[in-house]
């Protein structure tokens, strides 16, 4: 259903669109700078870490997971 590669690509894409440096984002979220590099399908990422990243990027967790194409679905916008 979800793969770590797809989630990482979505995080990188939206960070790039918003001109956010990944290292700074991870640091601001209290995460290790290698968090995304060490994600695998077996290891994954905690729901808390993914929520912190989504909040930082001002998008929904569902958007990062690829469950919606609407980055603003967390705001109730259609």
The number of distinct structural domains making up the chain is 1
Q: What is the CATH number of the domain that holds 44?
A: 1.10.260.40
- Does some domain include residue 77? no
- Does some domain include residue 26? yes
Could you tell me the CA-to-CA distances from 3 to 30, 40, 44, 65, 69 in Å, in that order?
23, 8, 8, 9, 17
pLDDT bucket at 76, cuts 50 / 70 / 90: low
- Does some domain include residue 73? no
Domain hosting 30: range is: 4-67
- Does some domain include residue 12? yes
Could you tell me the two tokens for 74?
């967390």
- Does some domain include residue 72? no
pLDDT at 16: 97
pLDDT at 51: 96
- Does some domain include residue 46? yes
- Does some domain include residue 78? no
9-42 per-residue burial string, b: 16 or more CB within 10 A, e: under 16 = ebbeebbeeeebebeebbeebebeeebbeebeee
CA 25 to chain CA mean position, Å: 10
Per-residue pLDDT tens digits for 21-68? 999 999 999 999 999 999 888 888 999 999 999 999 999 999 999 988
């Amino acid at each position: 259903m979800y793969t770590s590669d797809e989630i990482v690509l979505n995080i990188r894409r939206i960070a790039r669109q918003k001109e956010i440096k990944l290292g700074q984002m991870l640091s601001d979220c209290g995460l290790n700078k290698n968090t995304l590099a060490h994600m695998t399908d077996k290891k994954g990422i905690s729901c808390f870490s993914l929520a912190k990243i989504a909040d930082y990027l001002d998008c929904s967790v569902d958007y990062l997971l690829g469950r919606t194409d609407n980055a603003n679905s967390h705001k109730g916008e259609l």
